[in-house]
Structure 1
Amino acid sequence: MLLYVHVPFCRRKCTYCAFASQVPEGDDFALWERALTAEMELSSKRFGRPVLETVYFGGGTPSLLPAWLFGCVADAVRKNFEVPKGIEFTVEANPESADLHTLQDLVAAGATRLSLGVQSFADDDLRLLGRPHTGEQAVAAYEAARYAGFRNVGLDLIWGLPGQRTATWLRQLKVAAEKLRPEHLSCYSLTPEPGTPLAALLEGGQLALPGENEQSRMFMTGSAYLEGQGYLHYEISNFARMGFTSRHNTGYWEGKDYLGLGPSAVSTVGGRRWENPRGLAAWAEEALAGKSGARPEELDRATRLRELVMLSLRTSKGLSMAAYRELSGRSFSEEHGALLQALRRHGLVRISKGQVRLSANGMLVSNLILERLMGT
């Protein structure tokens, strides 16, 4: 089982962010800790103290937690679940709260992998995104992570920003890949979420995203550059050095059971799925009353089949046609024969050894391909 813990606190809300997060005030930290502990205890009893494959603290900004609080929660994880030695234990951090002492405390509490939300090394980009750190702080946080003892560090970057071009995107990648050389890079295209300040500026015409051709060049040129630097392009948005792919995310893409704790967290266990209330107070009330996961949704075969195709084709491993047949009772190649032939002719998919994989060009238009495959 994969464990995800949502930390819903941030120093301030970024202009593009639609995640469940808030600026902590009053006894928010204490309420979160009490409710989270209750949710862990309930989950441990419900699933028989399951063995964890990975632990992932995301947010929000987990590095914003006081050291004592993170330590207490990490201890509660070990108390309520079987946590094998050497497990991948990831913590997300933002540069402005990732000082040396904080990072050392994370390592002392058991964290083995750091995911650092850099987003950009350019201060103009960071101001546009509403990020509360500078490019210099991002580099300093990375160096502090190394000094603190993290041997597995990933950086998050965003491309396709207003005013950005392929050359400026490559400069960002060169800082990451040549100067810092992290084990992992997540490169996400900017997706303006409805209702966010950045989306409002784009809708109002004050800002404009790069055109489709420019964004295509960013994706293709950036991917080729990172592969040339020794990174495996193992998922549409993710690159890793040999042996450093994210076990947690890979488990999710492979359809493994995952338990989500905290506000807005989603769980899928044994073919059943449930989502926690989004707000801190509503989630805490439910967790403290022992009602977390009380109304799961049974995933039907059509939903599981759709997710198998969509998640598998995001990865370099691709879709197993045997797995598709096992779940559906049908042949993927026969069911989608004409479309697959057309995609192969255009160099968008590759089929070998029973696996269907998207090419780099295919990854670029993955949403369109998936829509055609799923008939939506």
Structure 2
Amino acid sequence: MAEPLAVYVHIPFCTIKCGYCDFNAYAGMDALKDAYARALLREADAARPLLAGRAIASVGFGGGTPGEFPAQHIAALLERLRDLAPFEPGAEVTLEVNPGTSSPPYLRGLRAAGVTRLSIGAQSFRAAELAFLDRIHSPEATAAAVAAARDAGFESVSLDLIYGLPGQPLGAWLESIRAALRLEPDHVSCYALTVEDGTPLAARIARGDVEPPDPDLAADMYEAASALLDAAGFRQYELSNWARPGHESRHNRAYWTDRDYLALGAGAHGYLAGERYENIAHPRAYIAAVEAAPPGQPRPALARVTTPALPAQVADWLALRLRLLEGFAPAEFERRWAVPLEAAAGSVLRELAEAGLLELAPRVRLTARGRLLHGEIAARLLVCLEQTAPRLPRLAARAAPPAPPYAAPK
């Protein structure tokens, strides 16, 4: 049997769309949910050739807010996936919910459906910050959601938090961390607020209504959060993620370690046999495409397929592996790309190590300072590989596997 793969399912529905969000998410489309559920089942059925001979290691429901999707639809899709491919023993099934809109009966329904890990979008434990972020729940609702998740039988509960808000004091951020820890989660994710083009938040900043985030203060917040979480017994295993032992996100690890993942749903992104692909984004257009697709099309809602240029492929591999605090062994790079790491990127890696941003032995991994500059390091690696990759024919050959029989026409 081929290597197990992950399955990502995109649920694009939200109660409201937050002003900072640029995800493929839509409010006011509840009437589409039943039709969307039927389209997901049809897309999963069509993917049978992609699942042949493979087991499913994990399923991740993202969005949007998957917790706004009826539990019976989640259950039906998981049952269909189990009919199409075996689940690995202990396969992880993660779903994101918002506090305040996830009732105890709903959470019990998710647990009965086979969801094993719950990610709760707390974002902050200060009412004013939640209002700024357009969140409709209260800090108390997060505590109630965690209690309801435990009562429903979830043994792995994660809290998501956002830092670096305009005008947010360091002390306020640390109080949110402490409030999260008082709820005794198994996992905490901390994300810096980013200002994305085209969002209402970007427009407010452009008008001068809101100050832009302070990157230096955000860096201080990141380091302070890491110290607090470490002292509380959480191990940082990825740039934005901390977990108690045994509660690391196995699904997200597929993204960071170059493993295949199947995409289902509107705007979902997948990665199979070296190809990156994306589904049609709008829910109505996605439903129409799935319903109209001819039999035998394994990706009926496909919007685009790309095979990144060789330097980008290798730079992506390095950047994603460096997100993990464990980094990677040079031998892993050589097994994947058929050339020594030194030949591909040795010069820039040494420069980064001399600058105190990278460790090179026994594994290649970011230092604490390097974690603050991951984006800049990834950009440096891409520039280096654009110069070296064309001179490494074995690397080019390894990066271009034969097209799979299910590849869509370009």
| 1:116 aligns with one of 116, 120, 139 | 120
The equivalent position to 1:340 in structure 2, one of 349, 374, 377, is 349
Answer whether contact 1:305 1:324 (CA < 8 A) is retained: no
The Cα shift of 1:335 comes to 4.8
Aligned to 2:64: 60
* Match of residue 368 from structure 1: 376
SS of match in other structure, 1:95: coil
RMSD after superposition: 1.9
Evaluate the alpha carbon distance shift between residue 128 and residue 49 of structure 1 in structure 2; reply closer, same or farther with a 3 A threshold: farther
Q: CA 1:341/1:207 → structure 2, altered by over 3 Å: closer, same or farther?
A: same
Q: Does 1:352 align with 2:361?
A: yes
Equivalent residue runs for 1:23-172 within 5 Å: 23-25=27-29, 27-48=31-52, 50-172=54-176
Segments of 5+ residues of structure 1 without an aligned counterpart are none
- Give 1:297's aligned amino acid: T
Give the Å deviation of 1:375.
Answer: 1.1
1:232 pairs, out of 232, 235, 247, with: 235
Rounded Cα–Cα distance in structure 2 between residues aligned with 1:268 and 1:148: 33
Q: Is the 8 A contact 1:39 1:288 kept in 2?
A: no
Displacement after TM superposition at 1:219 (Å): 1.2
1:181-260 matched pairs, under 5 angstroms = 181-260=184-263
Number of aligned residues: 374
Q: CA deviation at 1:295?
A: 5.8
- Equivalent residue of 2:262, what SS? strand
Q: Structure 2: how far apart are the matches of 1:16 and 1:210?
A: 12
- Taking the aligned partners of 2:171 and 2:329, their CA distance within structure 1 comes to 37
After TM superposition, the structure 1 = structure 2 runs for residues 299-318 of structure 1, keeping only pairs within 5 Å, are: 299-318=308-327
Decide whether the 8 Å contact of 1:49 with 1:80 is kept in 2: no
Q: Separation in 1 of the partners of 2:338 and 2:255?
A: 23
**What are structure 2's unaligned runs of at least 5 residues?**
294-299, 385-410
Name the stretch that deviates more: 258-267 or 301-310: 301-310
Alignment of 1:9-20 (within 5 A): 9-20=13-24
Aligned residue identity for 1:107: R
Partner of 2:265: 262
Question: What is the distance in 2 between the residues matched to 1:26 and 1:170?
Answer: 36
| CA drift at 1:328 | 4.1
Q: TM-score, normalised by structure 1?
A: 0.94
State the Cα deviation string for residues 310-359 of structure 1 (Å, max 9, x = none): 10011112133223334444433355444433433332111222x21001
Q: Distance in 2 between matches of 1:79 and 1:24?
A: 32
Structure-2 change in CA distance of 1:255 and 1:217 (3 Å)? same
What is the rounded CA distance, in whole Å, between the counterparts of 1:134 and 1:150 in structure 2? 22
Amino acid at match of 2:327: G
Inter-partner Cα distance in structure 2 for 1:274 and 1:74: 22
Q: Deviations over 1:76-133 (max 9, x none)?
A: 2222232234211111101121121111110011111000011111111110010111
2:21 and 2:344 map into 1 onto residues whose CA distance is 39
Deviates more, 1:341-350 or 1:180-189: 341-350
1:279 aligned to 275, 279, 282, which one?
Answer: 282
CA-CA distance at 1:73 after TM superposition: 2.3
Which whole-Å CA distance do the structure 2 matches of 1:131 and 1:323 have between them? Answer: 42
Q: Distance in 2 between matches of 1:123 and 1:284?
A: 37
**Percent identity of paired positions between Structure 1 and Structure 2:** 37
Instruction: Report the AA paired with residue 217 of structure 1.
Output: D
User: Counterpart of 1:319 in 2: which secondary structure?
Assistant: coil
Sort the Cα spacing of 1:325 and 1:69 in 2 relative to 1 into closer, same or farther, 3 A: closer
Q: CA deviation at 1:304?
A: 2.4
What CA deviation, in whole Å up to 9, does each residue of 1:245-269 have, x standing for no partner?
1000112100100001000001111
For residues 14 and 213 of structure 2, what CA distance do their matches in structure 1 show? 29
Q: Give the distance between the partners of 1:287 and 1:145, measured in 2 at CA.
A: 34
Q: Quote the Cα distance in structure 2 between the aligned partners of 1:222 and 1:186.
A: 10
- Asked if the contact 2:51–2:84 (Cα under 8 Å) also holds between the matched residues in 1, the reply is no
Tell me if the contact between 1:44 and 1:50 (Cα under 8 Å) persists in the aligned partners: no
